């Protein structure tokens, strides 16, 4: 799955990769979690634009977002079938800029965190869907979810799922909902190539959402490897889930 990720490249580097018109200025974020505001890139009148939305999809038919468990991941196998994703897959596809993401390997009652990034340490983009929710009093909320697929061979030893990483040459195909139908776009929802990524164990400091610094992605030391590993903590803001319908963190 993808329950936490990091954006550490400069605004200029991300803009060069994703070619959006806007000139946002934002600091690095090392421990992004569901319910937080996150940047996405989407098409608006044929132009790529940068937007901030809440991570955790709220479908437009939801009556009360407070009573709806956030969908922070959408399974690729379900995006063209499940009501929560069908319209977004047809009309509101987006990209999530990222520099890496976290996965937890379960070993009995222990969970070991790993950081996953491109081997060349350059930024990339997850496939995503976004929606706009309108409340009874005119209030509006934009939200988004990251699409996941089966893990490739590298990550399968850590977790069975991984976020879909869209190749730069396929950005336009994924974003262009006016000319590319949902079935065609779904062909992009595949595991990353085996030689694209690297993964290494890191400190359990990442388990606390409040921790947000470059130290989080430092390789784990021998001393830390001897310490007990704990499960990631929930944020206090909301119960989170993936689109399996079961309460989940990662």
Check residue 119 and give its pLDDT: 98
Task: Kindly state the DSSP code that residue 155 receives in the 8-state scheme.
Answer: H
Q: Are 84 and 116 in contact (CB under 8 A)?
A: no
d(CA 37, CA 47): 22
Lowest mean pLDDT segment, chosen from 16-30, 32-46, 52-66: 52-66
Mean pLDDT calculated for residue range 209-226: 85
Instruction: Reply yes or no on whether 2 is catalytic.
Output: yes
Instruction: Reply yes or no on whether 94 is catalytic.
Output: no
Check residue 236 and give its pLDDT: 39
pLDDT grade for 64, boundaries at 50, 70 and 90: confident
245: pLDDT strictly greater than 70? no
Those residues with Cβ within 8 angstroms of residue 59's Cβ, 6 or more apart along the chain or in another chain: 83, 84, 131, 133
Nearest to 225 by CA among 110, 71, 145, 89: 110
Q: Report the C-alpha dihedral over residues 174, 140, 212, 241, rounded to 10 degrees.
A: -70
The DSSP line for 157-212 is TT-SEEE-B--GGGHHHHH-TTTS-HHHHHTT--PPPTTTEEEEEB-GGGGSTT--
Of 12, 77, 94, 103, which residue is the catalytic one?
A: 103
Mean pLDDT calculated for residue range 156-184: 97
pLDDT grade for 139, boundaries at 50, 70 and 90: confident
pLDDT grade for 67, boundaries at 50, 70 and 90: confident
Check residue 228 and give its pLDDT: 56
Mean pLDDT calculated for residue range 176-199: 97
Q: Are 115 and 24 in contact (CB under 8 A)?
A: no
Of 2, 94, 131, 142, which residue is the catalytic one?
A: 2
Map out the domains of the chain with their CATH numbers.
5-242 (3.90.1680.10)
d(CA 5, CA 117): 10
85: pLDDT strictly greater than 60? yes
Lowest mean pLDDT segment, chosen from 125-139, 171-185, 218-232: 218-232
Check residue 164 and give its pLDDT: 98
Lowest mean pLDDT segment, chosen from 112-116, 146-150, 197-201, 227-231: 227-231
Check residue 226 and give its pLDDT: 60
Mean pLDDT calculated for residue range 117-142: 94
């Amino acid at each position: 799955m993808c329950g936490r990720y990091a954006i550490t490249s400069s605004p200029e580097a991300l803009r060069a990769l994703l070619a959006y018109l806007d000139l946002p200025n934002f600091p690095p974020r090392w421990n992004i979690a569901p319910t937080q505001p996150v940047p996405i890139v989407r098409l608006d009148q044929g132009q790529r634009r940068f937007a901030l939305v809440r991570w955790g999809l709220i479908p437009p038919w939801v009556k009360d977002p407070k009573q709806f468990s956030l969908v922070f991941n959408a399974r690729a196998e379900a995006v063209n079938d499940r009501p929560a994703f069908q319209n977004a897959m047809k009309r509101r596809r987006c990209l999530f800029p990222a520099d890496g993401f976290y996965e937890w390997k379960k070993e009995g009652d222990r969970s070991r965190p790993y950081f996953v990034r491109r081997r060349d340490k350059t930024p990339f983009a997850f496939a995503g869907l976004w929606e706009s929710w309108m409340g009874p009093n005119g209030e509006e909320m934009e939200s988004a979810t990251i699409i996941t697929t089966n893990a490739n061979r590298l990550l399968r030893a850590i977790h069975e799922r991984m976020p879909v990483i869209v190749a730069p040459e396929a950005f336009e195909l994924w974003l262009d909902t006016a000319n590319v139908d949902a079935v065609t776009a779904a062909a992009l929802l595949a595991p990353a190539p085996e030689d694209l990524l690297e993964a290494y164990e890191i400190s359990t400091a990442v388990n606390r959402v409040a921790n947000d610094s470059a130290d989080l992605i430092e390789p784990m030391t021998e001393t830390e490897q001897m310490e007990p590993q704990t499960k990631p903590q929930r944020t206090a803001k909301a119960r989170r889930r993936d689109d399996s319908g079961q309460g989940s963190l990662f």
